[in-house]
Amino acid sequence: MCYNHTMVLSVQRHGDIWELQLNRPPANALHPELMVPLRQQLALAYQQAKAVVLSGQRGMFCAGLDIPALLTMEPDQAQVLMGEFLGLSADLLEAPIPVIAALTGHAPAGGTMLAIFCDARIMARGPFKLGMREVAVGLSVPPAAYHALCELVGTRQARLLCLEARFVEAQEAFEMGLVDSLEEMGEVVPQAIAWARRWTALPANALHSTRTMMRRSLVAEAAGLREAGSGHSGLFHGNETHAAMLQLLNSLKKPTPDRPA
């Protein structure tokens, strides 16, 4: 039953599993107006739920940072946006309960980052894309994202994905280990909930201690993200970043499900 709905985020309780659905059309781009309530609901879920499923809209999970907004922001506003994004990333890394990404469509750049910081990724079959696109838009890949990617796909593949800034579609992502399961669109969220139920049905203390051990190296990266988010993030490269973002924006039509921003 849906108990909370805003213009950009809906929260549904499936028993003790909470689904946080991104709902900021057209592409669920990451802007403070989405990230602030998302972080608030994550904090609440960490206190009251046993697991979280993070989902998007049909055809689009999350298109990453809101580049059109970034290009119009003053430096202090851009820092707020980056601070919220890096803080959200740290929140996911430090999650005390399992968080499963239900990839209901495209998840490029920042969308991929959110997904790889979760415990598991269930993705829709089809021509939906993921990829660490940061370098292509003049941003540095955060160390935490690179290390998380290495854990999933191995060092060599992670290096290529980051340096080439290329997209991979769902089937290739599954084959390389970037996502854990492919499902038909209508089954993505139900299967993510089913994964969460299987995990939370296990003895709680054993699950928690084992998960804590497995994620220790990733959780250690959260402090670096929070530090970067509290000042100059170190991800931007001045005019180079601005020019790369502007070039990307000019090359794209209005984002659609088959053309991720």
Residue 178: pLDDT over 90: yes
pLDDT digits (tens, 9 = 90+) for 99-155: 999 999 999 999 999 999 999 999 999 999 999 988 888 888 999 999 999 999 999
Kindly indicate the confidence band of residue 36, based on its pLDDT and cuts at 50, 70 and 90: very high
Report d(CA 149, CA 202) in Å as an integer. 27
Collapse the DSSP code of 153 into the 3-class scheme (helix H, G, I; strand E, B; otherwise coil) and give the result. helix
Amino acid at 52: V
**Dihedral angle sign, alpha carbons of residues 11, 14, 15, 16:** negative
State the chain's mean pLDDT as an integer. 89
- In this structure, whether the domain defined by 2-251 belongs to CATH 3.90.226.10 is answered with yes
* Residue type at position 231: G
Q: How many CB atoms lie within 10 A of CB 256?
A: 14
Phi, psi angles (nearest 5°) of residue 193? -65, -40
Taken in order 132, 138, 140, 142, the sign of the CA dihedral is negative
Q: Residue 130's closest CA among 191, 195, 82, 179?
A: 179
pLDDT at 4: 41
Q: How far apart are CA 197 and CA 50, in angstroms?
A: 9
Summarised one tens digit per residue, pLDDT across range 69-101 is: 888 888 888 888 989 999 999 999 999 999 999
pLDDT at 78: 85
Domain segments of the chain: what residues?
A: 2-251
**Is 222:88 a contact under the CB 8 Å cutoff?**
no
d(C-alpha 130, C-alpha 206), whole Å: 33
pLDDT interval class at 229 (50, 70, 90): confident
